[in-house]
Structure 1
Amino acid sequence: MDIADQFTHVIKEHKGLIFKVAALYTNNLEDRNDLYQEIVYQLWKSFGSFYGQSKVSTWMYRVALNTAIYHLKQTKRRVDTIPLEVGADRFADEMDRLEEERIQQLYAHIQLLNLLERGIILLYLEGKSYDEIAAIVGITVSNVGTRISRIREKLRTQITKKQAIWN
């Protein structure tokens, strides 16, 4: 299998990862598609230098998150909060409506976080270990634990305040 075929296989296998990062750092379909393409381009550029020293998904997350953050800084776009289309890859029948609304609210609150916090919590919600998150984001494992704790508290506070306003 040549390098182009290997790359195509890796992208097809992990396209959901790229979509999730692109969706979290954009606020409309056009920007999401642009960022998706930019991430794939950056992955292609660095594919030859990936030597398997980490998992493919770890490497891809790192490239995708760095590309998303760089892309936002370069274009000086302000990311507005919009609900993430949770359930795009799930059948609506699988979740009851209340649970789906709660997840959408959670993602709306996640989009209020700063760029690094969003990346960390995305990886955490994906079930990545603290070691994997540290390798992807480039911080220490203990810093990951501290940041996740602070992010969870920040989200809890935001959600509690919003619920208090509605009640």
Structure 2
Amino acid sequence: MTEQTISIRALAPSDCLGELTALLHKAYASLGAQGWNFTGVDQSVEVTAKRVATGHCLVALQGGAMVGTVMVRGPYRPGVDAWYLDTPWYTRADTAILSQFAVDPQCQGQGLGARLMQAAEAWGRAQGMAYVALDTARPAEHLQRRYAASGYRAMCEIQWEGKTYASVLMVKTLAEGS
């Protein structure tokens, strides 16, 4: 498949959250097989709905099928957001947060993940954000290397409730002079 055959757009109300959830399960399966209980490994359609309602969900489509996704949003709101954790980078007014990043295994290695990240970062810039932050499992060194190659720097470790691993929080500067 060629890059031109894949389009990226915002999730539409008419899009099937079951299809999005199935994509997440497929993309996160190899991480789950390693014992890392990322939310995307087995989240329900209801959890997907809650997650996409909190921000801007982008989907990549090929031939009408979802083959990639990423969520981007503004800072977590203490006492409001279900996934809030007292992590300073996630509560800063100038920081966008990326999550639920997934590419269908059959489409990996073709630059689609980079395109999704760039689209999410562009959304952050358009919202006036100076930084973008994400977290990933500490043992998932391949993911940390991929994010570092895109300009993300490891800032701290966090432990999400119920996770079998510690996470590394990584940040990228979006705005010049920040």
Q: Normalised by the size of structure 2, how large is the TM-score?
A: 0.32
The structure where strand makes up a greater share of residues is: 2
Could you say which structure has the higher helix fraction? 1
Pair member with larger Rg: 1
With normalisation by structure 1, the TM-score equals: 0.33
